[in-house]
């Protein structure tokens, strides 16, 4: 047995049970789902009828529980299931939620909290103020350790193939931390400016805000971060790292994959040499027309790499990469890309006037464009990467009279290039979807006409992937002078792969786990392995290769790369539920130069945004993941305690007995529409009022929410959600009368001029000292009115009008005005208790509390022998009764442990 | 003593102190005091983080005395002694200064002067801390046996639970039979089990336990010794029985309020207390009859003897908690016996708290009529034509005056503590204003008393129903087990000490000691007083009684008190000199 007793729930009942059992000499594991023990009592202002400060009497209980030598407190832990063993003991599955903070190092200094950029409604202040995603619940928390609240990975971050913390930089920009945003992106990629312009932005498609009024413009924000930073810093602020490794790495190919790998390896301290066949580094990025990616932006992105001391040797093609390994390089990364146009096997492709897209764009980039002036140009597009549109828009700018693009796919299937389609259409390009060239007809070897066929939409396979369409009957003929084939690219046999094992399509074969080729120390990645891909995917593979090579050079286990060991993405429904009452804020549209103007030059089409617009857009982020991974806490923590690598862990415990002390839920008055809660700001719950009155109060005084005015005529409405069939709770909640009287007394102390009226059915001051406490409040001047309030309405000034039957007076329906209304909400069972045990073995009573099977003689005994319920998990009860009930549960639990041990 | 290294921590108490006392000024004022090595303010000194900070300071700075200026020692003396202990410091090198109850709360209207006073209080604390010395607790082996006084349902259930935990139990019952009130009851709320059956189950089970001994006709006569090791003398059927026990659980129960003669016509045939009516119900079959006549109407009057309602000189101000529920249940039982019976409930507030609300619903569904009266204007009961006529103003109908004719008047009488001065004199457990035994803390320590090792449970502590009484008796069992299962207890070393050189044995101190802790011994060639360390409570009553000044209390030495006064007064004295 690991522990004699497992206590589930660290509120008043759980602490009392654990302490009592610990004092008796039994070993106890106390499990609490929140980051602190203390339950609801620690959140209260004072407690009735003694008016003890709740902090003052709960804090020592918390501390002595936590420090008790016999009690092990496990916070931030939930129960996955408990089952009884044949021995009579219990096996409990604990789910220890990752805190992302090393508790051994954390000193509770709260610097992470100050640095955190995500605000979340503070559940410990019942939503009246916000807290951070990195947080310590409150000043008296035990243990006083920070946790990072992560619901999962935000969908945008999860969607990024390059591992950029999209949520993180959006949050930083929202917070005005623009340099930090840029640096966070630079953690993942050097090509910030490039991606900010050309990325197809899978992040935005994943954005939960799409389900509302359009995604956060994440790509634009990235561009904003880069543009701003590059303007301030024409050259990188850093140089080569100081700590260098001895092992040298060669990278073949200075495209996005190769340079990204070089970048990360250089940051890790490896001397890196890049060999590039072309005259300039950048690879395929050089082929992106400047109206989409200005050359100086690309150059600046590449400077991010070279500033680290990476040497790029251009004009040096490497035919046999393994030779580099023999030349003193300890590792080689081959990322030579796909530079050969795929030419489809259709009639006439060898005619004069027909060329491949790579060939076309290469000539344009080299300043030697083919002559298309006055011509009709047809571009046959394959699809997803938009190269066809680049060709078409370039041809248009070069003076072609008519430019037509034919896509084999429907527009819907081409959503990744939707922006480029829009821009091209605006610029006068004709686009035909679901059409492909079938035959190229020439005269004297010169292309004159293209016959094209209609493509039927292909179906989808079981995974949802679109199947290739079939050729339909509709053919069409078009006079064409120039034809550009942008239907695909491949590696070609030109070189760079000799000595390596390749597929029939010439891509290099690697071990997918390590990215290593058959030759030890030689790695390959990017398009030369995967075939043509997007820029961001190539960059992602470059990052991965760097990690693989590092592990190889450091002699570390060659496990599967863990960049994608992110938490699973947050369910959108979860975020949307939370967002119910948020106002809408439509997405800002892209800012483009006028089409007429941009058709005549190669200047950039899309304009950037200013700070105000960027921050406003970023502020639309709804923090799906909780923590945004902006990593500010990492830099802020003086103890180096933040650890994003932590994961939830499961722990199995065998225990002799179980005490269920899971407490109660508060009635949510939103459903009781006539009381106005959630509609009228000045209607609050008593729990919120208790926070306003507590020593750790959020506003440092009692203010009403609508206008921050100090209230002077306060009403309490008792039995809200209790003794009420309409709210499906016919029980009395047992504590509301007394906490209301307590609050009334506290209000009279805090606001001596305020009038307090309590509307009641019966005043249930039944416990020891309660009646005297009630009488004392009457003597203080609290006004008690017998009458059940039927309706609350709001006046013009935020005041509230209560309607009730004045039973004790003249018996008429009366309307009275108050400036703050507090709903004395009732207690409900915490139904989580009933699912703790496998197979629903823990029986509920008729009201969904944990059933006590022998309340007369063994209060706390449940339907499972060896399992005892303590406190308000069994029925609404106040603190004194909870303490007694917990003592009883402890005594019974101890007796059971004695039997099991015997 | 050589130079001390004192750490001083001034607590904001989350505003309780800092709203009125400028804690930063206090810190600044004492930071330069001699031998003060660390002076800090903190939001909540009792918070775990602040405790850890103190521990770190003690260990890193090598502190040898600790002062926390916060709240009353009642709250946190043990908390901070624990801090000292965890830091490896003798806990008696800790001094608590009460800035909250004795300063900030008392002087909310004069913050400047409150700050000034706080500075002086802390200076006094520091002066006392300079003169602290390590003290060692006395350890006493505990006896694994308990005495339970009272064999009602609480006492019997406690006995079985103690036995379950391997502790031997003696139960002393004053009367000739066990079971208390519950043994008389038939069906009880809320689970409709019969009281007789519950008691029978407990008694049968107790008979099977070798380690449970029940004495009837037994009363506690004497108690000596201390927590963990008491010697008690019982009078059992006139014979003395001496037992050695580690703790005592007092479950002496209640008596029902006995109305004054004429209170709501009490004393007239047909006016019954709730207890009497319950007896009538339990004894009835096939219809509700009273003195052979069928009952047509029953009228209940609530809060008799509770909530200030009584014709006696000192009315009980408290609510008796159980009566509303019990009256509802009685009403439903009466309806079951005679479905045609009319029932009127004249109440002030219906306090069927929690799940007992269902009893109220049940009574209403069975046709009972509820009429709310004003406590200031109670119903008038008079006998007329063999029945009763009750006049009442119905506050649910805007004060409409009602006349009710009824056969029976049931007074929902509350609970009173069972009078037993002889027992109280032996136990020395204080009682509260309501006459029930007083717990250490009504919220957090409801079964413990200021007499260590003596616990209270059931209705001896407060009015409550049977199931609640059982819960509290089990809670007392848990506390008893926590005390006795460890095998030993440690006693406070803050006790009286005799200077054998000065003492001349005059015997004055013996008379002043309420715990009989002082004995005469031989010391060399003379006789002197000696303090029994396990009996002395450190109350200090003997100190002023000694004409020789030979007695002192550890932790509160004359030297310390003088130093505190000096430290507190020096500024004032100097100021008055101008």
Show which of A827, A843, A865 is a domain's final residue.
A827
Chain A residues touching B46 at Cβ < 8 A: 56, 59-60, 63, 140
Closest CB to B474 among A139, A734, A859: A859
Q: Does A145 touch chain B (CB under 8 A)?
A: no
| β-strands B239-245, B229-236 pairing | antiparallel
Query: Residue A196's Cα: distance from chain center in Å?
Result: 21
Q: Report the DSSP beta bridge partners of residue A621.
A: none
Chain B (460-519) residues lying within 8 Å, Cβ to Cβ, of chain A = 461-463, 466-468, 470-472, 474-479, 481-482, 485-486
Of A21-25, A665-669, B108-112, the range with the lowest mean pLDDT is B108-112
**Would you state the pLDDT for residue A811?**
84
The least confident of A454-463, A694-703, A809-818 is: A454-463
pLDDT given for residue A483 in this prediction: 95
A786-796 residue pLDDT tens: 999 999 999 98
- A20 in contact with B at a CB cutoff of 8 Å? yes
Chain A partners within 8 Å of B251 (Cβ): none
3-state secondary structure of A604: coil
Measure the CA–CA gap between A558 and A176, rounded to whole angstroms: 40
Distance (Å) from the alpha carbon of A29 to chain B's nearest alpha carbon: 17
| Helical (H) or strand (E) element with A897 | helix A879-901
Query: Which residue of chain B comes nearest to A52, CA vs CA?
Result: B443
Q: Does residue B466 have a pLDDT over 50?
A: yes
Tell me whether A50 touches chain B (CB under 8 Å): yes
Dist. CA B40–CA B53, nearest whole Å: 10
Let me know whether A821 and A674 are in one domain.
Answer: yes
Structural domain span for residue A265: 244-289+314-339+491-568
Tell me the shortest Cα–Cα distance from A95 to chain B, in angstroms. Answer: 25
CATH of B496-553, picked from 3.30.70.20, 3.40.50.720, 3.90.226.10, 3.40.47.10, is: 3.30.70.20
A380-394, A627-641, A664-678, B128-142, range with the lowest pLDDT:
A380-394
Distance of CA A520 to the CA centre of its chain: 39
Examine the pLDDT at B76 and tell me if it is beyond 90. Answer: no
Report whether the peptide linkage leading into residue B268 is cis, meaning its omega lies within 30 degrees of zero: no
Looking at the structure, tell me whether residues A332 and A366 fall in a common domain.
no
Where residue B275 falls among pLDDT bands split at 50, 70, 90?
A: very high
Q: Rounded to a whole number, what is the distance in Å from the CA of B525 to chain A's nearest CA?
A: 47
Mean pLDDT along residues B438-458: 93
Segment A387-408 shows an average pLDDT of: 95
Question: Does residue A851 belong to the interface with chain B, where contact is any CB pair within 8 Å?
Answer: no
| Chain B residue at shortest CA distance from A25 | B486
A320 shares its domain with A361: no
Cross-chain Cβ contact A24/B447 below 8 Å: no
Tens digit of each residue's pLDDT (9 = 90 or more) over A173-226: 999 999 999 999 999 999 999 999 999 999 999 999 998 889 999 999 999 999
Q: How many CA atoms are closer than 13 Å to the CA of A540, on its beta-carbon side?
A: 20
pLDDT of amino acid A251: 97
Question: Is B317 close to A772, i.e. CB distance below 8 A?
Answer: yes
| pLDDT surpasses 90 at B1 | no
Give the CATH class of B145-253+418-489: alpha beta
Q: Which ranges in A627-678 belong to alpha helices (H)?
A: 632-636
Q: Do A763 and B13 touch (CB under 8 A)?
A: no
Return the closest-CA partner of residue A849 out of A867, A865, A825, A828.
A828
C-alpha closest to that of A150 among A578, A649, A646: A646
Three-class DSSP category at B508 = helix
**A495 falls in which pLDDT band (50, 70, 90)?**
low
Q: Residue ranges per domain, chain B?
A: 6-135, 145-253+418-489, 257-414, 496-553
Instruction: Give pLDDT tens digits for B229-273.
Output: 999 999 999 999 999 999 999 999 999 999 999 999 999 999 999
Query: Would you mind telling me the total number of residues written for chain B in this entry?
Result: 578
CB contact A875 to B (< 8 Å) = yes
Which residues in B lie closer than 8 A to residue A21 (C-beta atoms)?
478
Interface list for A 102-141 with B (CB within 8 A):
108, 139-141
State the Cα angle at A110 between A106 and A116, rounded to 5°: 110
Of A193, A183, A263, the C-alpha closest to A631 is A183
Q: What tens digit of pLDDT does each residue of A419-437 get?
A: 999 999 999 999 999 899 9
The confidence score (pLDDT) of residue A459 equals 63
Q: Which helix (H) or strand (E) holds A617?
A: helix A611-618
Spatial separation of the C-alpha atoms in residues A89 and A1, rounded to whole Å? 8
Residue A258 sits in the same domain as residue A374: no
Smallest CA–CA distance from A810 into chain B, residue: B398
In a domain, A638, yes or no: no
Determine the Cα–Cα distance for residues A190 and A282; give it in Å rounded to an integer: 12
Which among B46, B319, B443 has the least Cβ separation from residue A47?
A: B443
Residues of A in contact with B164 (CB under 8 A): 894-895, 898
Q: CB distance B354–A875 less than 8 Å?
A: yes
Share of chain B above pLDDT 70, in %: 99
Choice among A245-254, A565-574, B99-108, B266-275 with the minimum mean pLDDT: A565-574
Chain B nearest-CA residue for A145 = B49
Give the Cα separation of A902 and B155 in Å (integer). 26
The gap from C-alpha A273 to its chain's centroid, in whole angstroms, comes to 37
Q: How far apart are CA A637 and CA A101, in angstroms?
A: 10
Contact between A772 and B354 using a beta-carbon 8 Å cutoff: no
Chain-chain contact of A63 with B188 (C-beta, under 8 angstroms):
no
Residue A869 falls inside a structural domain: yes
pLDDT at residue number A466: 53
Residues A59 and A88 in one domain: yes
Please tell me whether residues A280 and A385 are part of one structural domain: no
Q: What is the pLDDT of residues B502-528, one digit of tens each?
A: 999 999 999 999 888 899 999 989 999
**Radius of gyration of chain A from its Cα atoms, rounded to whole angstroms:** 35
Nearest to B10 by CA among B48, B50, B57, B49: B50
Distance CA A884, CA A16 (A): 9
Interface check for A142 against chain B (CB to CB < 8 A): the answer is: yes
Selected residue of B349, B448, B457, B460 to mutate for chain A interface (largest A Cβ count, 10 A): B349
Q: Is B307 on the interface with A (CB under 8 A)?
A: yes
Residues of B in contact with A63 (CB under 8 A): 46-48, 51, 79, 82
**Pairwise CB contact (< 8 Å): B14 & A695:** yes
| Domain end residue (candidates: A568, A596, A630) | A568
Residue of A nearest to B395 (CA): A808
Statement to judge: residues A482 and A516 lie in one domain: no
pLDDT at residue A566 above 80? no
CA distance B95 to B49: 20
Statement to judge: residues A511 and A652 lie in one domain: no
- Between strands B254-256 and B415-417, the pairing is antiparallel
> Which of these ranges, A304-313, A836-845, B208-217, has the smallest mean pLDDT?
A836-845
pLDDT digits (tens, 9 = 90+) for A29-54: 999 999 999 999 999 999 999 998 89
Is B397 in CB contact (< 8 Å) with chain A? yes
Q: Is residue A586 part of a domain?
A: no
Give the CATH architecture of domain B6-135. 3-Layer(aba) Sandwich (3.40)
User: Which chain A residues touch B180 with a CB distance below 8 Å?
Assistant: none
pLDDT at B508: 92
> For chain A, what percent of residues have pLDDT higher than 70?
96
- pTM score of the predicted model: 0.88
Contact B145/B246 with Cβ under 8 angstroms? yes
8 Å CB contact of A57 and B75: yes
Residues of B with CB below 8 A from A718's CB?
Answer: none
Chain B residues close to A47, C-beta within 8 Å? 443
Quote the percentage of chain B above a pLDDT of 90. Answer: 83
Contact B436 A59 (CB under 8 A): no
Quote the distance between the C-alpha of residue A84 and its chain's center: 37
pLDDT digits (tens, 9 = 90+) for A580-603: 666 778 888 889 999 989 988 999
Let me know whether A888 and A778 are in one domain: no
The pLDDT, as a whole number, for residue A565 is: 56
Q: What is the pLDDT of residues A757-775, one digit of tens each?
A: 999 999 999 999 999 999 9
Of the candidates A24, A49, A807, the beta carbon closest to that of B485 is on A24
Is the pLDDT assigned to residue A493 strictly greater than 80? no
Rounded to the nearest integer, the mean pLDDT of chain A is 92
User: Which residues in A549-682 belong to E strands, given as ranges?
Assistant: 649-660, 664-666
Which residues of chain A from 764 to 793 reach within 8 Å of chain B, CB to CB?
764-772, 775, 786
Fold agreement (B145-253+418-489, B257-414) = yes
Two structure tokens written together for B395: 């506050």
Q: Please tell me the total count of domains within chain A.
A: 4
Q: Which residues pair with B226 in a beta bridge?
A: B229
Identify the CATH number of the domain in which residue A525 sits: 3.50.50.60
Q: In whole angstroms, give the CA distance from residue B16 to residue A52.
A: 12
Residue of B nearest to A877 (CA): B354
Mean pLDDT over the full length of chain B: 94
Residues A688 and A761 in one domain: yes
Band (A564; pLDDT cuts 50, 70, 90): very low
Same domain for A843 and A884, yes or no, is yes
**What CATH number labels B257-414?**
3.50.50.60
- What is the average per-residue pLDDT within A440-458? 89
On chain B, the residues whose CB falls within 8 A of the CB of A866 are: none
Q: How far off is chain B from A801, nearest CA to CA, in Å?
A: 23
% chain A with pLDDT above 90: 78
Interface test with B, best of A19, A764, A770, A856 (most B CBs within 10 A): A856
Q: Are residues A425 and A546 in the same domain?
A: no
How many degrees, rounded to 5, is the angle at CA A638 between CA A634 and CA A639? 90
Q: In this complex, do A20 and B482 lie within 8 Å of one another by their Cβ atoms?
A: yes
Decide if A880 is inside a domain: yes
Assess B164–A contact: CB distance below 8 Å, yes or no.
yes
The structure tokens 């004790």 sit at A808
Size of interface A-B (CB pairs under 8 A): 232
Which chain A residues are Cβ-neighbours of B14 within 8 angstroms?
53, 55, 139-140, 695-696
Decide if B577 touches A, using CB distance below 8 A.
no
Domain termination site, one of A534, A568, A602: A568
Task: Pull the structure tokens for residue A734.
Answer: 């047992």
């Amino acid at each position: 047995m690991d522990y004699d007793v497992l206590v589930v729930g660290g509120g008043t009942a759980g602490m009392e049970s654990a302490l009592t059992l610990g004092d008796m000499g039994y070993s106890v594991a106390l499990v609490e789902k929140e980051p602190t023990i203390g339950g609801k009592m620690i959140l209260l202002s004072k407690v009735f009828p003694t008016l003890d400060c709740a902090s003052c009497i709960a804090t020592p209980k918390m501390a002595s529980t936590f420090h008790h030598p016999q009690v092990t407190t496990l916070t931030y832990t939930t129960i996955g299931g408990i089952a009884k063993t044949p021995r009579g003991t219990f096996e409990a599955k604990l789910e220890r939620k990752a805190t992302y903070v090393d508790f051994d190092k954390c000193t509770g200094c709260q610097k992470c909290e100050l640095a955190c950029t995500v605000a979340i409604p503070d559940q410990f202040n019942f939503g009246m103020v916000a807290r951070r995603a990195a947080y310590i619940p409150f000043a008296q928390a035990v243990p006083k350790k920070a946790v990072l609240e992560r619901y999962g990975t935000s969908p945008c971050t999860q969607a990024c193939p390059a591992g950029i913390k999209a949520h993180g930089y959006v949050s930083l920009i929202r917070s005005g931390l623009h340099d930090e945003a840029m640096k966070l992106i630079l953690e993942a990629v050097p090509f910030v400016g490039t991606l900010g312009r050309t990325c197809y932005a899978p992040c935005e498609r994943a954005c939960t805000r799409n389900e509302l009024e359009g995604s956060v413009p994440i790509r634009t924000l990235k561009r904003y971060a880069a543009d701003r930073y590059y303007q301030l810093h024409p050259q990188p602020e850093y140089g080569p790292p100081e700590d260098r490794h001895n092992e040298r790495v060669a990278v073949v190919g200075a495209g996005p994959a190769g340079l990204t790998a070089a970048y990360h390896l250089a940051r890790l301290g490896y001397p890196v040499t890049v060999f590039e066949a072309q005259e300039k580094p950048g690879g395929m990025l050089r082929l992106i027309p400047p109206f989409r990616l200005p050359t100086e932006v690309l150059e600046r992105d590449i400077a991010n790499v070279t500033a680290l001391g990476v040497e790029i040797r251009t004009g040096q093609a490497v035919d046999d990469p393994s030779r580099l390994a023999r030349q003193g390089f300890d590792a080689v990364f081959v990322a030579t890309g796909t530079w050969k146009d795929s030419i489809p096997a259709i009639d006439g492709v060898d005619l004069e006037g027909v060329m491949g897209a790579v060939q076309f764009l290469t000539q344009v980039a080299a300043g030697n464009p083919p002559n298309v002036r006055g011509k009709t140009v047809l571009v046959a597009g394959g699809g997803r990467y938009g190269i066809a549109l680049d060709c078409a828009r370039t041809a248009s700018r070069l003076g072609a009279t008519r430019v037509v693009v034919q896509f084999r796919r429907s527009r819907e299937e081409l959503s990744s290039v939707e922006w480029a389609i829009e821009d091209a259409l605006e610029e006068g390009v004709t686009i035909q979807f679901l059409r492909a060239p079938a035959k190229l007809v020439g005269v004297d070897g010169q292309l004159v006409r293209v016959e094209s066929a209609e493509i039927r939409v292909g179906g989808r396979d079981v995974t949802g992937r679109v199947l290739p369409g079939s050729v339909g009957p509709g053919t069409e003929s078009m006079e064409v002078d120039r034809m550009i084939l942008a239907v695909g690219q491949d590696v070609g046999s030109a070189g760079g792969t000799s000595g390596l094992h390749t597929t029939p399509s010439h891509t290099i074969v690697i071990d997918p786990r390590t990215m290593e080729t058959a030759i030890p120390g030689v790695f390959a990645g990017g398009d030369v392995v995967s075939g043509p891909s997007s820029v961001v995917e190539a960059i992602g593979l470059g990052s991965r290769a760097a990690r693989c090579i590092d592990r190889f050079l450091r002699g570390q286990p060659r496990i599967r790369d863990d960049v994608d060991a992110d938490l699973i993405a947050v369910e959108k429904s979860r975020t949307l539920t939370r967002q119910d009452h948020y106002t809408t804020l439509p997405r800002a549209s892209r800012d483009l130069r006028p089409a007429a103007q941009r058709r005549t030059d190669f200047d950039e089409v899309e304009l950037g945004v200013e700070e105000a617009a960027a921050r406003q857009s970023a502020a639309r982020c709804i923090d799906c993941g909780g923590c945004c991974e902006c990593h500010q806490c990492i830099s802020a923590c003086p103890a180096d305690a933040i650890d994003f690598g932590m994961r939830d862990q499961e722990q199995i415990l065998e225990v002799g007995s179980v005490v269920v002390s899971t407490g109660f839920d508060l009635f949510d008055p939103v459903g009781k529409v006539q009381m106005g809660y959630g509609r009228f700001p000045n209607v609050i719950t008593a729990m919120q009022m208790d926070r306003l009155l507590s020593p750790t109060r959020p506003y440092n005084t009692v203010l009403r929410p609508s206008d921050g005015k100090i209230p002077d005529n306060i009403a309490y409405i008792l039995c809200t959600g209790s003794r009420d069939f309409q709210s499906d709770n016919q029980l009395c909640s047992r504590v509301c009368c007394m906490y209301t009287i307590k609050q009334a007394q506290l209000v009279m102390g805090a606001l001596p001029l305020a009038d307090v009226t309590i509307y009641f059915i019966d005043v249930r001051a039944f416990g020891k000292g309660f009646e005297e406490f009630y009488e004392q409040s009457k003597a203080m001047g609290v006004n008690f009115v017998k009458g059940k309030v039927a309706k609350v309405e709001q006046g013009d000034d935020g005041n509230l009008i209560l309607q009730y039957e004045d039973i004790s007076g003249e018996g008429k329906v009366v309307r009275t005005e108050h400036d703050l209304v507090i709903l004395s909400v009732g207690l409900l069972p915490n139904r989580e208790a009933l699912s703790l045990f496998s197979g629903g073995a823990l029986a509920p009573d008729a009201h969904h509390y944990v059933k006590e099977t022998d309340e007369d003689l063994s209060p706390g005994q449940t339907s499972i022998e060896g399992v005892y319920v303590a406190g308000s998990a069994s029925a609404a009860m106040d603190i004194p009764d909870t303490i007694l009930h917990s003592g009883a549960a402890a005594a019974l639990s101890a007796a059971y442990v004695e039997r099991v041990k015997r | 003593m050589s130079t001390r290294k004192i750490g001083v921590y001034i607590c904001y108490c989350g505003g309780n102190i800092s709203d009125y006392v400028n804690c930063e000024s206090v810190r600044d004022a004492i930071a330069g005091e001699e031998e003060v090595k660390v002076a800090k303010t903190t939001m909540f000194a009792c918070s775990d983080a602040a405790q850890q900070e103190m521990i770190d300071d003690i260990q890193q700075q090598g502190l040898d005395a600790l002062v926390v200026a916060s709240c009353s020692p009642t709250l946190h003396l043990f908390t901070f002694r624990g801090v000292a202990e965890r830091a490896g410091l003798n806990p008696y090198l800790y001094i608590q200064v009460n800035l909250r109850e004795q300063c900030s709360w008392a002087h909310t209207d004069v913050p400047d002067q409150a700050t000034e006073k706080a500075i002086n209080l802390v200076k006094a604390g520091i002066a006392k801390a300079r003169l602290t010395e390590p003290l060692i607790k006395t350890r006493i082996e505990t006896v694994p046996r308990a005495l339970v006084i009272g064999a009602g349902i609480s006492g019997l259930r406690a006995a079985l639970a103690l036995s379950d935990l391997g502790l031997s139990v003696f139960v002393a019952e004053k009367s000739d039979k066990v079971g208390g009130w519950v043994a008389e009851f038939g069906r009880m709320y809320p689970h409709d089990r019969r009281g007789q059956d519950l008691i029978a189950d407990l008694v049968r089970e107790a008979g099977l336990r070798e380690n449970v001994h029940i004495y009837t006709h037994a009363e506690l006569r004497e108690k000596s010794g201390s927590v963990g090791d008491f010697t008690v003398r019982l009078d059992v059927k006139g014979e003395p029985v001496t037992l050695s026990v580690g703790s005592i659980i007092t479950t002496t129960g209640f008596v029902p309020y006995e109305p004054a003669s004429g209170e709501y016509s009490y004393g007239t045939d047909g006016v019954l207390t709730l207890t009497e009516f319950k007896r009538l119900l339990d004894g009835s079959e096939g219809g509700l009859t009273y003195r052979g006549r069928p009952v047509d109407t029953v009228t209940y009057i609530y809060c008799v003897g509770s909530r200030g309602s009584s014709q006696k000189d000192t009315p009980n101000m408290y609510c008796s908690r159980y009566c509303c529920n019990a009256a509802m249940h009685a009403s439903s039982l009466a309806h079951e016996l005679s479905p045609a019976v009319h029932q009127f409930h004249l109440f002030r507030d219906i306090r069927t708290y929690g799940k007992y609300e269902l009893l109220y619903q049940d009574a209403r569904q069975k046709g009972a009529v509820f009429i709310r009266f004003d406590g200031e204007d109670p119903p008038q009961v008079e006998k007329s034509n063999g029945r009763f006529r009750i006049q009442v103003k119905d506050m649910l109908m805007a004060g409409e005056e009602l006349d009710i004719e009824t056969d029976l008047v049931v007074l929902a009488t509350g609970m009173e503590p069972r009078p037993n001065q002889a027992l109280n004199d032996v136990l020395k457990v204080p009682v509260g204003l309501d006459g029930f035994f007083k717990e250490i803390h009504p919220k957090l320590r409801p079964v413990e008393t200021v007499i260590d090792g003596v616990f209270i449970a059931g209705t001896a502590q407060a009015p409550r129903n049977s199931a609640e009484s059982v819960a509290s008796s089990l809670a007392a069992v848990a506390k008893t087990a926590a005390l006795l299962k460890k095998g030993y207890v440690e006693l406070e070393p803050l006790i009286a000490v005799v200077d054998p050189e000065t003492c001349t044995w005059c015997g004055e101190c013996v008379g002043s000691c309420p715990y009989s802790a002082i004995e005469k011994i031989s010391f060399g060639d003379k006789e002197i007083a000696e303090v029994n360390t396990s009996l002395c409570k450190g109350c200090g009553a003997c100190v002023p009684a000694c004409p020789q000044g030979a007695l002192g209390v550890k932790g509160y030495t004359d030297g310390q008190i003088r130093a505190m006064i000096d430290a507190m007064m020096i500024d004032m004295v100097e100021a008055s000199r101008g």
